[in-house]
Amino acid sequence: MQLFSWRHVFAACPAAIFVAWLATAAAPAVDRVVFRHGETEREVIGRVEVKAEDGGLLLLSRDGSLWTVEPQQIVEHKTDDAPFEPLDKDELAQSVLAELPRGFDVHTTANYVICHNTSKAYAQWCGALFEKLHRAFLNFWSRKGLELHDPKMPLVAIVFADKDSYTRYVQSELGDAAAPMIGYYSLRTNRIALYDLTGTAGKAAGDRLSEAQINSMLSKPQAERTVATVIHEATHQISFNCGLQTRYADNPLWLSEGLAMYFETPDLSSDKGWRTLGGINRVRLADLRRYLPGRKGDSLSTLLTDDKRLANTQTSADAYAESWALTYFLIKQRDKQFVQYLKTLSGKGQLIWDNPGQRLEEFQKAFGELEKLDKEFVRDVGKLR
């Protein structure tokens, strides 16, 4: 599971780049920006999402990646009259394949481009799983009165044949944090990375599993947590591409992770729907039960106002459990208020961070006085079985 704050994606950039950003209307034109990237120069064709007072840019490329560019890095910036268009599936597949080692193939679905060097059957299984989750996710929020949209560009998943090659790939962005993770969604590239969970990718072609066999293997109880992790990361990707959340905006980590945990319980038994949506997350509930007896009075406040408890490995298990429970409680008991809260957060500007007081004020505006809500929350989740 994700055990660190997504703000780490900015850690390599000087703090000055995040000062005094001005939100700009999404321009219809194409921006061509050449900038210094390490020891080389890079050209990105895309759309400026945000421009700073000092000339710095947040740039969305045609492949869906976001680039933060400081003014002193910019070599050339031109704007064309042609409208901005994301890469189509074929163009995107070729772009991703060019970055990967030899031996990768492509499987596409209605909304996904899956680049893989594992079996075709496993790539197809992943595609079917992602599409089923995508349909269930949009239908769930539609029934709640929140109309989302299909992704505006194809969603990329990179599926490696084994954990070692996957880990080497994600280490470039995560460093040592990559080692224990079995799936990862990158806010910067907008891609999921994962690996073949069956452990059979290296076998001879005749020994490889069919989609039905893969589904049967990964439906077993002992595989539930690994599959849940893949779904968790896919939920992040859907949330940031269907209008629920905005990349590089102030998305409280408790909410992002709470939503992913709410949807993560796998449902591999039916092709007709995701029947387990909204079910109790047994792993998180067990963690919550261990946490509640010693829970501090300011626990909810510290969870809401910053991301430290979730980012700290010493406190993350308790914080993740409480994030899931709070999300579960609000959806079950305050669904209309929760939807309105999500709508408010979805309108946040990119690269503008709220302070703890603003986060708390916004939450209480949606759900009422915190102390009263906290008592009801603890009482209700304490009854979950």
* Per-residue model confidence as pLDDT tens digits over 20-38: 444 444 445 899 999 998 8
Give mean pLDDT, residues 328-343.
97
Q: Is the pLDDT of residue 272 over 50?
A: yes
Q: Is residue 274 a contact partner of residue 136, using CB atoms and an 8 Å limit?
A: yes
Q: What is the pLDDT of residue 220?
A: 86
Q: Is residue 310 a contact partner of residue 317, using CB atoms and an 8 Å limit?
A: no
Tell me the CATH class for 6-83.
Answer: mainly beta
pLDDT band at 271 (very low <50, low <70, confident <90, very high): low
Q: Would you list the DSSP string of 326-361?
A: HHHHHHHH-HHHHHHHHHHHHTPPBT----HHHHHH
Q: What is the pLDDT of residue 381?
A: 96
Q: 17-21, 215-219, 235-239, 255-259: lowest mean pLDDT where?
A: 17-21
Q: Is the pLDDT of residue 5 over 60?
A: no
Q: What is the pLDDT of residue 93?
A: 98
Q: What is the pLDDT of residue 269?
A: 78
Q: What is the pLDDT of residue 207?
A: 52
Q: Is the pLDDT of residue 48 over 60?
A: yes
Q: Is the pLDDT of residue 223 over 90?
A: no
Q: At a CB cut-off of 8 Å and minimum separation 6, what does 120 contact?
A: 105, 107
Q: Please, what is the average pLDDT of the chain?
A: 89
Give mean pLDDT, residues 89-116.
97
Q: Percent of the chain having pLDDT more than 70?
A: 89
Record the tokens describing residue 195, joined without a space: 């690996």
Q: Is residue 318 a contact partner of residue 300, using CB atoms and an 8 Å limit?
A: no
Give mean pLDDT, residues 214-222.
86
Give mean pLDDT, residues 164-193.
90
Q: What is the pLDDT of residue 6?
A: 36
Q: Percent of the chain having pLDDT more than 90?
A: 75
Q: Is the pLDDT of residue 347 over 70?
A: yes
Q: Is the pLDDT of residue 1 over 60?
A: no
Q: What is the pLDDT of residue 52?
A: 92
pLDDT band at 288 (very low <50, low <70, confident <90, very high): very high
Record the tokens describing residue 203, joined without a space: 């076998």
User: Token pair 């004020």 is at which residue?
Assistant: 361
Q: What is the pLDDT of residue 222?
A: 81
Give mean pLDDT, residues 9-30.
47
Q: Is residue 267 a contact partner of residue 278, using CB atoms and an 8 Å limit?
A: no
Q: 26-40, 333-347, 354-368: lowest mean pLDDT where?
A: 26-40
pLDDT band at 10 (very low <50, low <70, confident <90, very high): very low
Q: What is the pLDDT of residue 9?
A: 39
Q: Which part of the chain is CATH 3.40.30.160?
A: 89-244
Q: Is the pLDDT of residue 8 over 50?
A: no
Q: Is the pLDDT of residue 12 over 60?
A: no
Tell me the CATH class for 89-244.
Answer: alpha beta
Q: Is residue 281 a contact partner of residue 261, using CB atoms and an 8 Å limit?
A: yes
DSSP letter at 17? G
Q: At a CB cut-off of 8 Å and minimum separation 6, what does 163 contact?
A: 182, 195
Q: Is residue 154 left, alpha or beta, with left meaning phi > 0 and alpha meaning psi from -120 to 50?
A: beta
Give mean pLDDT, residues 264-281.
79
Q: Is the pLDDT of residue 287 over 80?
A: yes
Question: Using a CB cutoff of 8 Å and minimum separation of 24, what contacts does 60-63 make?
Answer: 62/86, 62/87, 62/91, 63/87, 63/92, 63/95, 63/96
Q: Which part of the chain is CATH 2.30.30?
A: 6-83
Whole-angstrom Cα distance, residue 256 to residue 182? Answer: 18
Q: Is the dihedral of CA 204, 205, 210, 211 positive or negative?
A: positive
